[in-house]
Structure 1
Amino acid sequence: MITINQLFAICAILFCVSLQIAIIVCETTITTTFIYLEDNVVNFRHYGENCSSDTESQLCDMKETLACINSTCDCANPLSMTFLPAKGICVGKAGHPCVHHISEASVSPTKKIGQCVMFSTCERDDDKGNANSTCACWSSFYPDEVTGLCVRRRDYLQKCERDEQCNNRKGLVCNKDMGICNCDKTVTRYNIDTERCVGLPNTECANIYRECTENHKCKSGICRCKFKEMEAANGTLLCDPVRHKYGKPCGRFRGDCGDEKVNNLRCLDGKCRCKNPDYQIYDHDRRVCVSKVGGPCIIASHSDSADSSFRNGTHNSKFNPDSFPIIKCIPYAECVPLTINTRVFMTPLINGKGVPGVCECGETFLPTKKGICSLPRGADCDTSSKDKKDQCASPLQCVSGRCDCPNEVDVYEDETKKCAKPVQSLCWKDSSCVKNAMCKLRNKHLPGRCKCLSKFKTTSLSTCV
């Protein structure tokens, strides 16, 4: 007996004697299924081609899950399907039902495989059958509401509109005010070494790796100090067992500057200095000498295969920091491997095995004349120590812990990387005003005001469009 659900699913049964083919077309409100009993069909129209449901030679290839819609071959259900050129078939969009195909007549209908967009999996409800299976994006991707594709989640300081667009595996959330992916500053901070948000002291351990800030470890789900806390002069408790060696007098005893394999310090002219002062600066947070932009670094693990993998072009940038003396980069810089021909430059700087590289600023950061990487707008900043001054890219300044325009009313323009004066603001020259505006001076002795050019209108944000 045919059930009600089966009766609703069957739309048409076609039998073509000349082609010796029978095709059962089953369509429901959830998904579309095509079953081929014999595979002798030829000259079917493909995706995007003109078609006609009344002409045998202009039928759409149902093997691609196509239907003739508005005289064009399109996915049978465009709202929940999209055509995937790599596979040559229509597949389920992210968050929508999977599309089930049978490519050969010998395949049993009970062994249908759900097809979805790239970077997603067909998650099936075994209790309800294939009709209730859904295309779910992988954990590192999120479903795009417009295209139905699975898009890679965005990293630190990349633009966003909602939390799901940010890499939650790294603990990132979308800062709505800045429109960028960042850490939740109330409970976490960004760790430049692990490139993840880590838990602050006495808060919940952060991200999927349950990580904490320096000198802390995860105990019963809370970030606790690894050592016995010491009381500072102001009465606060410090979790800080290691003292700075940089700049301290040395020379009387071996090891005055600590373990140089760890901090890259050595005794120069009676004081603990970086081993390569022209290329390195001391990072007070990490307590190690790090290389400036253009300086040396090491990016491979201490193993016999590290050097050979580099020559084969398969080097692994994830290394074990305890394997050999690492030369790290300044904050927000990446270690880019050198070619074989340029390795001579690095030979004296490497103590142990490893793949040499040169420090370069990351994609969203800008190099400065001092050899550091400046922070873009919206990045977390801190001017509490002398080595962190001028960390924001000019003309940005550190405002309430974030790099932003010094004047709250100014408009930051991504294209020109400047803080522009909005419409009606006082000005002296055109370049200080927002895009598509000019500085209209009263006379040469008094400032003018920013006005939109004749072909542009003032917006609610005091810009010109």
Structure 2
Amino acid sequence: MNKFKLLCCVLWVLTLNLASAYMDPYLQKGYKESCSNDSDPCNSVKFLSCLEGQCLCSSPGELVYDYGRDQCVALASYSCLRVMPDSNSVQDPKYQIGCTDYAKCAFPGDSCQCDFTYYEAENHTCIRQHDYGAECAIDENCDQFRFFSCINGKCSCDPNKNHRYDQKNDKCMVPVGEKCRVIEFQSINEKQFKTDECAQHASCEGGTCRCNAGYRISSDRTCEPLFSLVSGPCTTDREARNTVDPHFIQNCTENAYCQESQAFSYCKCKEGYVETNDGLCVKAYGQSCEMDEECDNLAPLACIENSCGCADHLQVFDDKLRRCVGLAGSRCWKDSNTTAAVCTTNAYCVKANAHLNYGKCICARGFVTTSQKTCSKSN
């Protein structure tokens, strides 16, 4: 072999080695490594190009390097379909590139768009929309899933949209009976979500907020449970499982249960509760409590040291009368219409004179006052 042929063979081998090095991504340079377009190329699969001696994202300002994914990704509003860097032909195929965090490649348009409940910032990243009361510039800064709007620089509820704030559910809602909107969307991880402007236990049906089965409209135009009162008819759990139409299900009021019987099932107060004149169930004497309103108001009972009891220490509770009654010698009221205490067994409320509206509990004739302030039959 002559010298010319030998030189050609060497050049051919070197060319193959350089081409192999260029095509092998493991031999190509990574992000911010020093590079040369000829001998030390950047990893084009990661959309890196050799810019000023460093491997950087091929389109500065449109692409940014994601360390977690170890590749360049497109910022929001920029194309997510791109020709491989250092391509020699405009006819080369385009490849889908990843998007910045909380954004996805939207079609048609082929651009990265922020996911629902995120908005695009000035630097083209995606930021979580703000909660109620947070500062904002435009409506898109505020959580759209909860129907917040930017009102006077704060994320709030827009009265022009008939919105009011539901603190319990942390969202803007429209009253029952008003027109409503439904939002359906697919998140960046392909999960399906649906929400509407209606209050809890209501749904947007035919463009209007309506209470769900088992609920009725309340005075504030939200939905409250459609409970049957004590002694009223109700639906047992067994009957409810066999009921096709949920509108026919009758639930009992709070602290009551459905007592099954042969004639018809009826609501009955749970153990530890008593029925009021309104057909509701309240806590009986001796039950734990946190406020007076929980206790039997017919007795009347008050919440004393976290227990339903008589408010006056000179009163005792009479189980048969279901009332707090005054001990012998205590003050009392003769008016039969009052809810105040009557007297203990074998004692009567006696006025000192007709001008007073109260009297004193005095043991009846034939009874004497004991050391416990009760009345015992005299010997």
What TM bracket, shorter-length normalisation? 0.3 to 0.5
| TM norm structure 2 | 0.45
| TM norm structure 1 | 0.38
